[in-house]
Amino acid sequence: MHCPYCGTKESEVVETRESADMDTIRRRRSCLACSKRFTTYERIENIQLTVIKKDNKREQFSREKLKGGILKACEKTEISADTIEMIVTDITRTLLSLDTLEVESKIIGDMVAKKLKKLDKVAYIRFASVFKQFVDPEDFEKEIRRLTSKTELGSRVI
């Protein structure tokens, strides 16, 4: 394991924990060269899931690509790295539990959008702008109106 700060291969495990999902082992490490700490995660990768894109092209599901999209949407928000990891794990687990090894990208996008909408409206709008392919400011306005009208309706329910 290379230290992300200095690149040295020598580190020691300070703490090991199983995550709440019991799929992942979280390890806190300390670099023996620079003494900085960093976290690594271990998980089993075994089922190959295929994503069907909007243009009907197929590509292998990438957990890291999913996480990257969520991270991008969550930049400069208060959503923690642990929360993002839990979202990615939950979505991945749901996809792997489906009765098929092929899933449309729209289904994955809807899952992400639903989770982000509950957590942070700004992250949701950022994600939706890419996922729903907004092309002009009116698209943002429509989505924000839809989001705020649902929020207002939800807050009026007693």
Q: How far apart are CA 100 and CA 119, in angstroms?
A: 29
Token pair in block for residue 76: 């400069």
63 with 89: CB under 8 angstroms?
Answer: no
Mind listing the pLDDT tens digit for each residue in 79-134? 999 999 999 999 998 998 888 899 999 999 999 999 999 999 999 889 988 888 88
Same domain (yes/no): 112, 39: no
Mind listing the pLDDT tens digit for each residue in 21-47? 667 899 999 999 999 999 998 877 666
Same domain (yes/no): 3, 63: no
Backbone dihedral angles phi then psi of residue 24, each to the nearest 5 degrees: -125, 140
The answer to whether the pTM exceeds 0.75 is no
Same domain (yes/no): 30, 56: no
Mind listing the pLDDT tens digit for each residue in 66-92? 999 999 999 999 999 999 999 999 999
- The SS3 call for residue 144 is helix
Same domain (yes/no): 61, 115: yes
Same domain (yes/no): 109, 71: yes
Tell me, rounded to whole angstroms, the distance of Cα 101 from its chain centroid: 20
Q: How far apart are CA 131 and CA 68, in angstroms?
A: 13
Query: At 34, which amino acid appears?
Result: C
Same domain (yes/no): 115, 82: yes
Structural domain for 78, as ranges: 46-156
